[in-house]
Structure 1
């Protein structure tokens, strides 16, 4: 029999289930602990989800078992969860439109955590009050190291990117991906064209630094850092700040201090688990605040 617990979250009633199920077997991390993490991180995470159509990666039986991406809000989604209907050209499910959920509040975040939605992914644009897509408000660079390169080399490239962005009047903020790479975000108020701008900057750095490639082809990436500028395509999403990741341990996509980036000399220095991220937020607050605050 499925164990269920009724709780009230900010005035909303939710039924939480299978709280003792272990979702991270290597660390014994349970579904209850996943929900607890998202509840406690919500004060800083919600501003980065606010207004953004949600894609989740769900792991009903834990990170070592089958998973699936979900864009369309489930049929059983409570009526109080905000949803927006948006076109999805090229959908693999042959759908013309999808009803996306939007995580604007704590009850919605807890609802999805209870679905074993371990990973939260969002685009670099938001929807307006009526659900209409707005121009991009964020520029993102996804740095992916090709072995034997690691996040150490990603940090070197991040500093190069930061300096170029500053010359263009853009302030950026780093975070780990929670996997092997990292991302840089910058607030963007220059209308459409983020992908073209990001591609041009990536190509400029590629021409000046042998460590960098702007090409996705695997054959050119060993020992180099691929600057994935294509994440700025409106149809794509990137893992949200403070989202957990489905690794052996409950790692998190973690905002960083530039001092940590500049001094990184071994990959393990920039691996943070859920409990460590909660402690970091208590110490530093939201390191992503300047580029991620809701409008």
Structure 2
């Protein structure tokens, strides 16, 4: 029998709770769902009002992975959706995860959550800038941290505060809250920053995606500011060999990072961090702190 759980008055079938999703750590689907419930307040704050894309991995990271923007088959009628623009001008709908019931329904599908830099009521008007720092081996998150500090100071020179989170993979994401700004303007500004970083740190940074340019360097990926692109949502679990989380980190942690494990966080690490620090990315949601592009 499939257990039916009631969440905020909604009946949700939670399936295969004993299934091991991460063989490296023995982490089960039930533990994954428990994690999502335990960080629901913070995760929902970052998902709220944003159309969500799902990277689904129902058989674990070693099984089939598929990325979907469309509401999955069987999406309950009570799960909110929003119309979003598409390049074919036909428009489409995407899920908006608005409450705990919708979060647990989505988590039961076994997903990474990915969101754009804009809200559903203002498509292609970004309220945050993102820079994805992606290391090419043998570079690691340690080199990303050095680049992040340079970019933080460069953003500050333009009056923009910056906040950091791990990607949950190998790199680091920098986020800056903005007054709503057309995505193409944010993209152009982010590309300028990436080029400036490469000019200032030529042995460490590339702003070009070409694999041949990336060994030992940090690729400053500005492309996720495009309206059609998405970034891993803060607190989402990633489909990696271990249940790593895209976790907010302090600038003190970034500056002190000496080894990749210093900034690798699993689902069991996040509760303690939240108790100690609260949500380090909460300022992203404060309109008073939003910056304006120069």
Matched position secondary structure for 2:126: coil
| Distance in 2 separating the partners of 1:70 and 1:20 | 25
Matched position secondary structure for 1:77: coil
Q: Which residue of 2 aligns with 1:151?
A: 141
Partner of residue 111 from structure 1, selected from 105, 109, 126: 105
Partner of residue 236 from structure 2, selected from 232, 243, 255: 243
* 1:52–1:102 Cα contact (<8 Å) kept: yes
Relative to the length of structure 1, the TM-score reads 0.93
**Superposed displacement of residue 293, structure 1:** 5.4
Unaligned runs of 5+ residues in structure 1 are: none
Relative to the length of structure 2, the TM-score reads 0.93
**Superposed displacement of residue 170, structure 1:** 0.6
1:46-96 Cα distance to aligned partner (Å, 9 max, x none)? 111111111011112122111111211023111111101223226xxxx94
| Distance in 1 separating the partners of 2:23 and 2:251 | 33
CA distance 1:11–1:293, shift in 2 (3 Å): farther
* 2:82–2:96 Cα contact (<8 Å) kept: yes
* 1:243–1:252 Cα contact (<8 Å) kept: yes
Runs ≥4 residues deviating over 6 A: none
1:219-271 Cα distance to aligned partner (Å, 9 max, x none)? 11111111001110000000000000111211000100100000111111110
Q: Which residue of 1 aligns with 2:173?
A: 183
CA distance 1:81–1:190, shift in 2 (3 Å): closer
Matched position secondary structure for 1:243: coil
Matched position secondary structure for 2:49: coil
Q: Are 2:189 and 1:197 aligned? A: yes
Q: Which residue of 2 aligns with 1:88?
A: 86
| Distance in 2 separating the partners of 1:64 and 1:115 | 16
**Superposed displacement of residue 6, structure 1:** 1.1
Partner of residue 154 from structure 2, selected from 139, 164, 171: 164
* 2:85–2:123 Cα contact (<8 Å) kept: no
1:259-285 Cα distance to aligned partner (Å, 9 max, x none)? 000011111111000010121112111
* 2:148–2:174 Cα contact (<8 Å) kept: yes
CA distance 1:101–1:200, shift in 2 (3 Å): same
Q: Which residue of 1 aligns with 2:22?
A: 24
* 1:26–1:249 Cα contact (<8 Å) kept: yes
| Distance in 1 separating the partners of 2:115 and 2:287 | 14
**Superposed displacement of residue 36, structure 1:** 0.6
| Distance in 2 separating the partners of 1:97 and 1:134 | 13
Q: Are 2:252 and 1:253 aligned? A: no
Unaligned runs of 5+ residues in structure 2 are: 289-294
| Distance in 1 separating the partners of 2:70 and 2:271 | 30
Residues paired across the two proteins, number: 285
| Distance in 1 separating the partners of 2:285 and 2:270 | 17
